[in-house]
Amino acid sequence: MIAAALFDQHRMHPAAEQEYTPYSPPPTAPLPEYLADLVVAALIDEVTLTPKPGLVDMRSRGAHRDLSWALMCHSAWALHSTFHAMAVAGQSMADLQRLREHIGFLGRQGEASMMRATGDINSHRGAIWALGLLVTAAAQDCNALAPAAVAARAGVLARIPDPFSPVLTGNKGQRACHEYRVGGARAQAQAGFPHVIEIALPCLERSRARGDKVNDARLNALLAVIAELDDTCILSRGGTAALASVQAGAQRVLAAGGAASPHGRSVLRQYEEELLVLHVSPGGAADLLAATLFLDQLRTDFVH
């Protein structure tokens, strides 16, 4: 009798007719701390991903004489406070012009801390730029954390001129942009990271959906970006001929089945050799992979 009453009561309860939506608690750390942790984790996941063509990974320095996996991890952690300060600024500064100037200042300070941490080796200049804009943009609106929304806000910030930024940095990326008439890291950000949103994230999803392992899905996403990016890291070391051959090689690995297929893997091995002979490294694509991993994790944690 009691059991029947309880049963009826249960049937009467309106929620019983609906599908149960599990409660997902917000991350316990305050947002800027959580976002800075996520950026550092993305940088460490990127450098740890192995085997990457031409790039520093767990097993080799790739085409770099002065970088190593340990140095890249050390540099990533040294940048935690930079990304944290950018997220705090994104969360608290409503005036976009002032916000742009402030994160420009933090970015230049971050580059100086990176150089101090590495003994004057450029490990993450491109990453500070791309992930700095993205972490600021994420913190600006914690109710709109889908990759396209965050990347679009980062694009808005990147298009705002920063009167305090040096006109000529003298860096290799900027020189390559002038010499080869490409947009480089700046244009990629100003366009709202199209290679992340339209190429890397969809490739990651497709690869995962067909059952590829996480590592292979990430390698495929990296190759998809390399195949399409005007990477000033490659241009400045090898010019347009090297860029064309690096792009075509990445395309060849993907066409052979990608990182998860035995044939794709063997083409990838040949491709790695070619990059070492050319002495080039797709550093810009690596930064965009880190940006992809950051946005992908943000979406997993927050977007339901």
Ligand X SMILES: Nc1ncnc2c1ncn2[C@@H]1O[C@H](COP(=O)(O)OP(=O)(O)OP(=O)(O)O)[C@@H](O)[C@H]1O
* Partner whose footprint covers residue 169, from ligand COD, ligand X, none (CB < 5 to 8 Å by kind): ligand COD
Distance CA 84, CA 80 (A): 6
Residues 294/137, Cβ–Cβ less than 8 Å: no
Phi, psi of 120 (to 5 degrees): 70, 30
Amino acid letter at 72? M
CB of 85 to ligand X, least distance (A): 19
Distance CA 92, CA 86 (A): 10
Buried b (16+ CB within 10 A) or exposed e, 59-80: ebbbbbeebbbebbbebbebbe
Cα–Cα nearest to 259, from 20, 112, 52: 52
H/E run at residue 263: helix 262-278
Q: Binder to ligand X among 237, 246, 247, 264 (CB under 6 A)?
A: 237
Amino acid letter at 142? C
Q: Binder to ligand X among 47, 86, 229, 246 (CB under 6 A)?
A: 47
Taking CA atoms, 16 is separated from 4, 7, 22, 81, 304, in Å, by: 16, 11, 14, 47, 21
Q: Binder to ligand X among 110, 287, 292, 293 (CB under 6 A)?
A: 287
State which of positions 139-198 bind ligand X (CB under 6 A): 172
Which residues here bind ligand COD, judged by CB under 6 A?
103-104, 107-108, 125-126, 128-129, 132-133, 162, 165, 169, 171-174, 184-186, 188, 229-233, 283-284, 287-288
* Partner whose footprint covers residue 124, from ligand COD, ligand X, none (CB < 5 to 8 Å by kind): ligand X
Distance CA 265, CA 187 (A): 32
With tokens 């040949």, the residue in question is 270
CB of 294 to ligand COD, least distance (A): 13
Give the residue with the Cβ less far from ligand COD, 264 or 283.
283
CB of 213 to ligand COD, least distance (A): 26
Tokens matching residue 269: 């091995």
Residue 232 interacts with ligand X (CB under 6 A)?
no
* Partner whose footprint covers residue 150, from ligand X, ligand COD, none (CB < 5 to 8 Å by kind): none
Q: Binder to ligand X among 267, 283, 294, 295 (CB under 6 A)?
A: 283
CB of 271 to ligand COD, least distance (A): 19
What Rg value do the Cα atoms of the chain yield, rounded? Answer: 22
State which of positions 70-129 bind ligand X (CB under 6 A): 122-127
Positions touching ligand X (CB under 6 A) are: 46-47, 55-56, 62, 64, 66-67, 122-127, 172, 233, 237, 281, 283, 286-287
